């Protein structure tokens, strides 16, 4: 029994070291594979008998573990959609084949790095056949709330290189100085005009025409103007009329004292210094300054001078580039100067990252040992941030693997010697009969 157990132990040792050799060879073979996580072999002894009078060798068995939580070094690249995760968390991806089927059932896989480039259909595809997933943004660039423990809302990221985009103008801020001399008795300067360009919902250019007409008194100074606003997109229709009173006191210094809507014009809100006008494309907030503020409309000296015009919105432009920031927002830049968020890329995390099921192409899938996934915003919670223009190198340490290779070779040879010795002893036992 003791001799045969020695033979079994030697065979188990050969098998265990052959397993370790397999993991070492796999690690060395993938020393240049981006995102590769090395595999380690753990040995466990088997104890059959604890008797002090005799001993039976139990041998050894092995378990293999892929150390997914070990991260390789990050290297710089020239592609803005070469992505790596710096810290905890993984990129959500799905196989290209599942997207091409088009039945809406895209399985969630995870990876720590990838080189994604738009394919012929605009999908951000890696050379290994994985398409990056993300939450699409609304037209205004905001990302709606999505479930964090489900793939509902995640979509294959698709970039159209021929894409056009424009932003409608919804806010206009004007600062203009009106000449105080124009509201004095005998003034003949007449109305002052200011044209402000804006962009409608279809990216077309239109103009707001602001006409300031001084109220000239018979004597003294009125310090009062009539402001009329017309919209070119509405055929030049009047969309607002206001009476503007300016403070002539030393403390007021020519600032707005009062703004009175005329007729059915939209109300002026003194706390914000704005009124909400209705142009052809929808509501637009026009800010002329708060009461008593020197940053909007003023009445000073003898010069009509627009000092600043600030507005949002832009003309339609063609897509020129895309980039991903550290929080996972994929932004597109257009030649019109617009920078818009198209997608948000979340980071997937599980309780036991080393319990994930390893698949081809450095991708992983949730398993019972890993626990369920949760989608975090990059840089939030336990997750790290996203790094563009980078790839994660293999976690293999070639020098360490070669050292383990030498140890494995010696151990394998030693176990083979044990088997050879047992064979010789059994042969001697057989010779006793002769």
Q: Is 116 exposed, middle or buried (0-12, 13-18, 19+ CB in 10 A)?
A: buried
Average of per-residue pLDDT across 266-288:
94
Least confident of 80-84, 207-211, 317-321: 317-321
3-state helix/strand/coil string of 136-178: ECCCCCCCCCCCCCCCCCCEECECCCCCEEEECCCEEEEEEEE
What distance separates the 2 farthest-apart alpha carbons in the chain?
146
pLDDT for position 224: 97
Return the C-alpha torsion angle 197, 199, 204, 206, nearest 10. Answer: -30
CA 348 and chain centroid, separation: 12
Check pLDDT > 70 for residue 1: no
- Give the tens place of pLDDT for each residue, 191-219: 999 999 999 888 889 999 999 999 999 99
- Contact by Cβ (8 Å): 226, 212: yes
Q: Is there a contact between 35 and 394 (Cβ–Cβ < 8 Å)?
A: yes
Q: Which residues contact 150 (CB under 8 A, 6 or more apart)?
A: none
Strands 113-115, 82-86: parallel, antiparallel or unpaired by DSSP?
A: antiparallel
Neighbour-count burial of 236, counting CB atoms closer than 10 A to its CB (0-12 exposed, 13-18 middle, 19+ buried): exposed
Q: Which pLDDT value is given to residue 161?
A: 67
Q: What is the pLDDT of residue 343?
A: 95
Cβ atoms of 335 and 166 closer than 8 Å: no
Tally the C-alpha atoms within 13 A of residue 53's C-alpha that lie toward its C-beta: 0
Q: Give residue 70's pLDDT.
A: 93
Query: Using CA atoms in the order 77, 143, 364, 65, what is the torsion angle rounded to 10 degrees?
Result: 90
- Rg over CA atoms, the chain: 37
Supply angle C-alpha 57, 10, 39, rounded to 5: 105
What's the pLDDT tens digit per position in 18-30? 999 999 999 999 9
Query: What are the pLDDT digits (tens) for 360-418?
Result: 999 999 999 999 999 999 999 899 999 999 999 999 999 999 999 999 999 999 989 98
DSSP secondary structure letters along 30-90: TTTSTT---EEEEEEEEE----SS---EEEEEEEEEE-TT--PPEEE-S-TTEEEEESS-B
What is residue 347's predicted lDDT score, i.e. its pLDDT? 97
The pLDDT tens digits of the residues spanning 128-182 come to: 999 999 999 987 788 999 999 999 999 999 998 666 677 889 999 999 999 999 9
pLDDT for res 337:
76
The two beta strands, 113-115 and 339-344, are: unpaired
* Distance set, CA 124 to CA 35, 134, 157, 214 (Å): 18, 11, 6, 59
Q: Which domains does the chain have, with CATH numbers?
A: 2-67+395-431 (no CATH), 76-159+346-392 (no CATH), 169-312 (2.60.98.20)
Residues 242 and 389: their CA atoms lie apart, in Å, by 54
Question: What share of the chain in percent tops pLDDT 70?
Answer: 97
Three-state DSSP state, 372: coil
Phi-psi region of 350 (alpha: psi -120 to 50; beta: other; left: phi over 0): beta
Report the alpha-carbon distance of residue 343 to residue 142 in Å, rounded.
9
Residue among 423, 322, 361, 327 nearest 112 (CA) = 361
From the number of C-beta atoms within 10 Å of its C-beta (0-12, 13-18, 19+), residue 360 rates as exposed
Indicate the range of 51-65, 76-90, 281-295, 414-428 predicted with least confidence. Answer: 51-65
Which DSSP state fits 213? E
Question: 59: pLDDT confidence band, cut at 50, 70 and 90?
Answer: confident
* pLDDT score at 49: 67
Other CB atoms closer than 10 Å to residue 221's CB: what's the count? 19
Helix (H) or strand (E) holding 353: none
Element (H, E) at 133: strand 130-136
Asked whether the predicted pLDDT for residue 433 surpasses 80, the reply is: no
pLDDT over threshold 60, residue 100 = yes
Tens digits of residue pLDDT in 106-136: 899 999 999 999 999 999 999 999 999 999 9
Q: In DSSP terms, which residues pair with 134 in a beta bridge?
A: 155
Please tell me the distance from the alpha carbon of residue 308 to that of residue 310, in angstroms, as a whole number: 6
State the average pLDDT for the chain. Answer: 91
Integer angstrom CA distances of residue 50 from 3, 55, 58: 16, 7, 11
């Amino acid at each position: 029994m003791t001799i045969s157990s020695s033979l079994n132990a030697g065979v188990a040792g050969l098998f265990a070291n052959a397993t370790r050799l397999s993991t070492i060879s796999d690690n060395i073979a993938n020393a240049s594979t981006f995102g590769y996580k090395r595999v380690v072999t753990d040995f466990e002894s088997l104890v059959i008998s604890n008797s002090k009078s005799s001993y039976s060798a139990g041998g050894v068995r092995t378990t293999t573990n892929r150390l997914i939580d070990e991260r390789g070094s990050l290297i710089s690249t020239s592609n803005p959609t070469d992505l790596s995760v710096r810290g905890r968390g993984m990129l959500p991806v799905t196989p290209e084949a599942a997207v091409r089927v088009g039945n809406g059932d895209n399985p969630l896989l995870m990876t720590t790095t990838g080189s994604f480039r738009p394919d012929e259909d605009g999908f951000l595809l890696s050379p290994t056949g994985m398409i990056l997933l993300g939450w699409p943004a609304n037209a205004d660039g905001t990302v709606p709330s999505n479930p964090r423990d489900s793939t509902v809302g995640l979509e294959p990221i698709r970039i159209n290189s021929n894409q056009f985009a424009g932003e409608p103008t919804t806010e206009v801020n004007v600062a203009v100085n009106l000449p105080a001399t124009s509201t004095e008795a005998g003034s003949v300067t007449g109305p002052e005009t200011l044209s402000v360009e804006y962009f409608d919902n279809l990216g077309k250019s239109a103009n707001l025409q602001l006409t300031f007409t001084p109220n000239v008194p018979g004597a003294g100074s009125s310090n009062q103007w009539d402001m009329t606003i017309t919209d070119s997109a509405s055929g030049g229709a009047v969309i607002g009329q206001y009476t503007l009173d300016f403070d002539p006191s030393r403390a007021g210094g020519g600032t707005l004292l009062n703004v009175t809507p005329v007729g059915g014009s939209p109300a002026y809100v003194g706390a914000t210094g704005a009124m909400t006008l209705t142009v052809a494309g929808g509501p637009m907030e026009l800010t002329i300054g708060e009461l008593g503020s020197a940053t909007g409309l003023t009445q000073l000296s003898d010069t009509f001078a627009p000092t600043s015009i600030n507005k949002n919105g832009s003309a339609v432009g063609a897509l020129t580039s895309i980039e991903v920031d550290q929080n996972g927002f994929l932004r597109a830049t257009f030649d019109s100067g617009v920078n818009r968020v198209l997608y948000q890329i979340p980071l997937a995390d599980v309780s036991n990252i080393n319990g994930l099921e390893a698949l081809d192409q450095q991708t992983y899938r949730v398993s019972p040992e890993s626990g369920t996934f949760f989608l975090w915003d990059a840089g939030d919670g336990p997750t790290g941030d996203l790094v563009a223009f980078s790839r994660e190198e293999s976690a293999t340490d070639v020098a360490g693997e070669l050292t383990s290779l030498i140890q494995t070779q010696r151990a394998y040879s030693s176990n083979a010697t044990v088997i050879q010795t047992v064979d010789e002893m059994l042969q001697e036992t057989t010779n006793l009969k002769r």
